[in-house]
Amino acid sequence: MVIRKKQAAKSRAVAAFTLVEVTMAIGILVLVMAGMIYGYVQTNAQAEWSSMSLSVQALTVQSVEQARAAKWDVYSTPTPGTTNEFAVGTNTTVFTSAVLIPSSGTTMNVTNVLQITTVTTIPALRQIRSDCAWTFPNTGATFTNTVITYRGGS
């Protein structure tokens, strides 16, 4: 840069960047880059959470579908509605190594609680509720996926 000496002597601030300006510019650049990196990492973490949540959701649905597959004969004798394979109550199951943690390839256990409750006797109607609790490894936070459905007797 070519500057006349007179002009430079009059105003040094115009002539060149001061150390404070340069430091601030670099500081802003570092902040922007840190923000970009954090954005990338956060996007990846969110994708990881979504994939794990979907995997757990599938297990939650699996439990509900098993309950739906169970026999429930409301016309059984001597007491109608007692012949069934999945009685009213709470069943806790641990799906061992059911979910793969992305990138690492390690597995995670998921605890499922299946609750079957009677809604009405006539007509025969039950509620099936499935809760799967799991921990997100990146943050250590615990989440619960829930599926609730109703089933009529056959």
CA atoms within 13 A on the CB side of 26: 7
Residue 136: exposed, middle, or buried by beta-carbon count in 10 A (0-12, 13-18, 19+)? middle
10 touches another protein by CB under 8 A: no
Q: Which lies closer to another protein via its Cβ, residue 45 or residue 141?
A: 45
Pick the piece of the chain touching another protein (CB under 8 A) from 42-50, 117-125, 126-134, 136-144.
Answer: 42-50
Cβ(153)–Cβ(127) below 8 Å: no
Q: Considering only residues 83, 118, 138, 152, which one is a binding residue for another protein as defined by CB under 8 A?
A: 152
Q: Cβ closer to another protein: 98 or 134?
A: 98
Stretch that binds another protein, among 34-42, 115-123, 129-137, 138-146 (CB under 8 A): 34-42
The total number of residues shown for the chain amounts to 154
Radius of gyration over every alpha carbon of the chain, rounded to an integer in angstroms: 31
**Residue 56 burial by Cβ neighbours in a 10 Å radius (0-12, 13-18, 19+):** buried
Site residues (CB under 8 A) for another protein, limited to 72-111: 85-86, 98-105
- Give the interface with another protein as residue ranges (CB under 8 A): 1-6, 8, 16, 29, 33, 36-37, 40-41, 43-44, 47-48, 50-51, 54-55, 58-59, 61-62, 65-71, 85-86, 98-105, 151-152, 154
